[in-house]
Amino acid sequence: MYGNLKRGEDTEQMGVIDWANWNTGRFPELKLLFHIPNGGKRDVKEAARFKAMGVKAGVPDLCLPVPMNGFAGLYIEMKYGKNKPTDHQKEWIKDLKEQGYKVTVCYSGVEATQELESYLQGVRTILSNPASEPCRPQKRMEIYCSGEDVDTLKSVLTEAAMRGECIFGGDFTPEDCGDRENSESCAACVLKNVSFAEYD
């Protein structure tokens, strides 16, 4: 089907892309499916150039940046036969899951297309749309400090807030901060949204 290529991970992935191209009528989101070219064999010079450009070992093969079913998007790592995820791939899978993505390892093109179809038949996750409204920074901050400094830092930050010096920057609107004229509300905001991680 793909010239003289021996059946393997590459041909299985090509089959997934063929399926996606044929099914964009059913699932328009499939037009966003793309391959991350971080695998394959390269000579030393080319490998160094790709690394300098940001290619990283272990990133899954396919990405569908569509939020569904409570996930931020879907990543698929393609395998074939007895191949198993490498340590780098396992680390990326773990980290991506922690960031809210669904990540799955598929051992055939059929398995991958079934995963895509199931994912896209789910419930759309609604995220704020930066094209229609400005992105607002989240009011959360974590400060690492010695345990004996926590009370001092809380005092300094709340006093600054009551003087109108918001530690979250000047990008917050009244909708973000509530009553911005109320200094006590600003102090309460700091205590609510700043967490202190103590180190020994």
Rounded distance between C-alpha atoms, residue 132 and residue 102, angstroms: 26
First to last CA, the chain: 61
Residue 108 is given by DSSP the state: S
pLDDT at position 14 is 93
Q: Are 192 and 140 in contact (CB under 8 A)?
A: no
What pLDDT is recorded for position 181?
Answer: 58
This prediction has a pTM of: 0.61
Q: How many CA atoms lie within 13 A of 143 on its CB side?
A: 18
70: β partners: none
Among the four given CATH numbers 3.40.1350.10, 3.40.50.2300, 3.40.50.261, 3.40.50.920, the one describing domain 9-120? 3.40.1350.10
Q: Where are the alpha helices (DSSP H) in 121-173?
A: 150-162
Distances (CA, A) of 43 to 46, 50, 117, 185: 5, 11, 37, 60
pLDDT of residue 161: 73
Tens place of pLDDT for every residue, the chain, 200 residues?
666 778 888 899 999 999 999 999 999 999 999 998 876 555 667 666 766 766 788 899 999 999 988 888 999 999 998 889 999 999 999 999 988 899 999 999 999 999 999 999 887 766 555 555 544 445 566 676 677 778 887 888 778 777 767 666 655 554 556 555 555 677 777 777 777 766 55
Question: How far apart are alpha carbons 13 and 67 in whole angstroms?
Answer: 22
Domain positions in the chain: 9-120, 141-199
